[in-house]
Structure 1
Amino acid sequence: MAKTEGQKLEEKLCYKIQNIGMERPEDVEKAMAFCEGYKEFLDHAKIEREAVRETIRMAEENGYKPFERSKKYKTGDKVYLDNRGKSIILTTIGKRPLDEGVHFNIAHIDSPRLDLKPNPLYEKEELAFFKTHYYGGIKKYQWAVTPLALHGRVMLRDGRAIDLDLGEKPGDPVFVVSDLLPHLAQEQVKRTLADGIKGEELNVLLGSTPIADPEVKQAFKLKVLSILHEMYGITEADFLRAELTMVPAQHAVDIGFDRSMVGAYGQDDKVCAYTALMAELETKKPEYTTVTALVDKEEIGSVGNTGMSGDMLLHYMEDLAEAEGERVRDVLRASLCLSADVNAAFDPTFPDAFEANNASYMNRGPVLTKYTGSRGKSGSNDASAETMQRVIKYMDDENVMWQIGELGRVDLGGGGTVAMFIANMDVDTVDLGVPVLAMHAPFEITSKLDVYYTYKAFKAFNK
Structure 2
Amino acid sequence: MSPTDTDALADDLLAYIDASPTPYHAVRETARRLEQAGYRALDERESWTLKPGERVYVTRGDTSIAAFHLGTAPVDRAGFRLVGSHTDSPNLRLKPNAQVAKNGYQQLGVEIYGGVLLHTWTDRDLSLAGRVVLLEGGKPRGHLVDFRKPLLRVPNLAIHLNRGVNTEGLKLNPQEQMVPVLGLESAGAVDLRAMLVKELSKGGVKAEAADILGYDLCLYDLQPSTRSGAHEEFLHAPRLDNLASCHSSLTALLTGPASREATSGVILFDHEEVGSRSAQGAASPFLRTLLERLTLVLSDGKPDAFHRAMAQSFLVSADMAHAVHPNYASLHEPKHQPQMGAGPVIKSNVNQSYATDGESWAYFAALCREAGVTPQHFVTRTDLGCGSTIGPITAGQLGIRTVDVGNPMLSMHSIREMACASDVAAMVAVLRRLFA
User: How does the TM-score come out when normalised to structure 1?
Assistant: 0.84
1:81 aligns with 2:55: no
C-alpha displacement at 1:228, in angstroms?
A: 4.5
* Alpha-carbon distance in 2 for matches of 1:202, 1:230: 26
Residue in structure 1 matched with residue 204 of structure 2 by the alignment: none
- 1:38-65 per-residue CA deviation (whole Å, 9 max, x = no partner) reads 1111100121111111111111111112
**2:56 aligns to what SS in structure 1?**
strand
Deviation string 1:229-274 (CA, Å, 9 cap, x unpaired) is 5444564894x61101101112110111211111000000111100
Q: 2 CA distance for matches of 1:95 and 1:355? A: 44
Please say if 1:241 is aligned against 2:218.
no
1:161, distance to aligned residue in structure 2 (A): 3.2
For the pair shown, the structure with the greater C-alpha radius of gyration is 1
The number of residue pairs the alignment matches comes to: 416
2:255 to 267, 272, 282: 282
**Alignment match of 2:280 (pick from 294, 306, 310):** 306
Q: Which residue of 2 aligns with 1:114?
A: 92
> What residue in structure 1 maps to residue 361 of structure 2?
388
CA contact (8 A) 1:152 1:243 kept: yes
Using the TM superposition, give the Cα deviation of residue 410 of structure 1 relative to its aligned residue in structure 2, in angstroms: 2.1
Provide the C-alpha distance between the structure 1 equivalents of 2:232 and 2:293, rounded to a whole number of angstroms.
Answer: 45
Partner of 1:176: helix, strand, or coil? coil
Which residue number corresponds to residue 408 of structure 2? Answer: 435
Contact preservation (8 Å) 1:122, 1:221? no
Structure 2 distance, partners of 1:56, 1:62, is 10
- Once the two structures are superposed, residues 12-38 of structure 1 have per-residue CA deviations (whole angstroms, 9 ceiling, x without a partner) of xxxxxxxxxxxxxxx9x9311221211
SS at match of 2:176: helix
**Partner letter of residue 163 of structure 1?**
L
* Aligned counterpart, 1:58: 33
- CA-to-partner distance for each residue in 1:150-183, whole Å, 9 max, x for gaps? 01111124434342211x3xxx333211111001
Matches within 5 A, 1:26-425: 30-67=5-42, 69-74=47-52, 76-100=53-77, 101-158=79-136, 159-166=140-147, 168=148, 172-186=149-163, 193=170, 195-210=171-186, 220-222=189-191, 226-232=194-200, 233=207, 235=209, 238=212, 241-283=214-256, 284-323=258-297, 324=299, 325=301, 327-371=305-349, 377-378=350-351, 380-406=353-379, 408-424=380-396, 425=398
Q: Would the alpha carbon gap of residues 226 and 210 (structure 1) be closer, same or farther in structure 2, given more than 3 Å must change?
A: farther
Percentage of matched positions with identical amino acids: 26
Contact 2:25–2:144, Cα closer than 8 Å, also in 1: no
Gaps in structure 1 of 5+ consecutive residues: 1-26, 212-218, 372-376
Partner deviation per Cα, 1:188-245 (whole Å, 9 max, x = no partner)? 678664x34534321111111547xxxxxxx5445x665445444564894x611011
- 1:357-384 Cα offsets, whole Å, 9 max, x none, are 112111110111133xxxxx54524423
1:375-430 Cα shifts (integer Å, max 9, x gaps): xx545244232222222112212322321212x32222321100011211100001
With over 3 angstroms needed to count, the CA separation of the structure-2 counterparts of 1:48 and 1:77, relative to structure 1, is: same
CA contact (8 A) 2:355 2:395 kept: no
Structure 1 residue identity aligned to 2:333: E
Per the TM alignment, residue 287 of structure 1 is displaced from its structure 2 partner at its CA by 3.0
- Does the CA-based 8 Å contact 2:320-2:406 persist in structure 1? yes
1: CA distance, partners of 2:54 / 2:82: 16
Match of 1:414, SS state, is coil
| Separation in 1, partners of 2:235, 2:271 | 24
Q: Contact 1:148/1:174 (CA < 8 Å) preserved in 2?
A: yes
1:328 CA drift (Å)? 1.6
Q: Is the 8 A contact 2:320 2:408 kept in 1?
A: yes
Structure 2 distance, partners of 1:452, 1:183, is: 47
- The answer to whether the 8 Å contact 1:366/1:450 transfers is yes
What is the alpha-carbon distance in structure 2 between the residues aligned to residue 103 and residue 295 of structure 1?
17
Q: Contact 1:156/1:234 (CA < 8 Å) preserved in 2? A: no
CA–CA distance in structure 1, aligned partners of residues 102 and 211 of structure 2: 20
- Pair 120,188 (structure 1): closer, same or farther in 2 beyond 3 Å: farther
CA distance in 2, matches of 1:126, 1:36: 43
Q: RMSD between aligned alpha carbons? A: 2.3
Residues 1:226 and 1:282: Cα distance change in structure 2 (over 3 Å):
closer
8 Å contact kept, 2:347–2:354 = no
Code of the residue aligned with 2:20 in structure 1: it is A
Please give the alpha-carbon distance, in whole angstroms, between the structure 1 residues aligned to 2:433 and 2:237: 27
1:316 corresponds to which letter in structure 2? Answer: L
Q: CA 1:229–1:339 in 2, change beyond 3 Å: closer, same or farther?
A: closer
Q: TM-score, normalised by structure 2?
A: 0.89
Distance (whole Å) between structure 1 residues aligned to residue 325 and residue 224 of structure 2 = 23
- 8 Å contact 1:369–1:431 — kept in the other structure? yes
